[in-house]
Amino acid sequence: MPASFHFLDDVALADLAFDAEGDSVQEVFEAASNAVIEAMADPKTVGATWERRVEHTGADLAELLFDWLSDFVYWKDAAGVVFSRASLSLTREGGQWKLAGTLIGEPVNQATQVLRNDVKGVTKHLYRLHQDNGRWRVRVVLDV
């Protein structure tokens, strides 16, 4: 089954929530990344003139994903960009996971982009990354 995400209407009234899942840790990270990208803007309307490489290391996968998703919010605010895509790779060395990722997008342009939500942060409210019947799943609530 391919990795996927769907937004939840009845979880957080003032925020935006989604569930993401995949057959592997890599897939659930990719699905969650795509959800955050979609939450901010329609990626089909966003170019690829801006790029930022990001790396994180840690033993806790949930914290690693939280930090990665928080990078989208940080760079949106720090550089004034929205994203068309992101790529990442996860490797494990000993007890540590290493995430190497690239965020790709362009500066916000209301004339050419379909902007959706001004995501202010990834929250710990209801946040949970777990494996269930061989599938990796995460629930994320975004502060908008």
Range of the domain at 19: 4-143
Provide the mean pLDDT of the chain.
94
CA 74 – CA 62 distance, rounded (Å): 18
Q: What pairs with residue 41 in β-bridges?
A: 115
Cβ–Cβ < 8 Å for 32, 73: no
| Residue 112: predicted pLDDT | 97
3-state secondary structure labels for all residues of 68-86: HHHHHHHHHHHHCEEEEEE
Helix ranges (H only) for the chain are 25-40, 61-79
User: What is the pTM for the complete model shown?
Assistant: 0.92
Q: In total, how many domains does the chain have?
A: 1
Q: What is the CATH number of the domain that holds 26?
A: 3.55.10.10
Cβ–Cβ < 8 Å for 31, 85: no
Q: What is the pLDDT of residues 61-73, one digit of tens each?
A: 999 999 999 999 9
| Residue 32: predicted pLDDT | 98
Split the chain (144 residues) into runs of 10 and give each run's mean pLDDT: 77 80 97 98 98 97 98 98 98 95 98 97 95 96 93
Q: What is the pLDDT of residues 33-72, one digit of tens each?
A: 999 999 999 999 999 999 999 999 999 999 999 999 999 9
| Rounded alpha-carbon distances, angstroms, from residue 16 to 4, 12, 40, 56 | 17, 6, 11, 25
For residue 14, which of 135, 130, 142, 101 has the smallest C-alpha distance? 142
| Residue 6: predicted pLDDT | 78
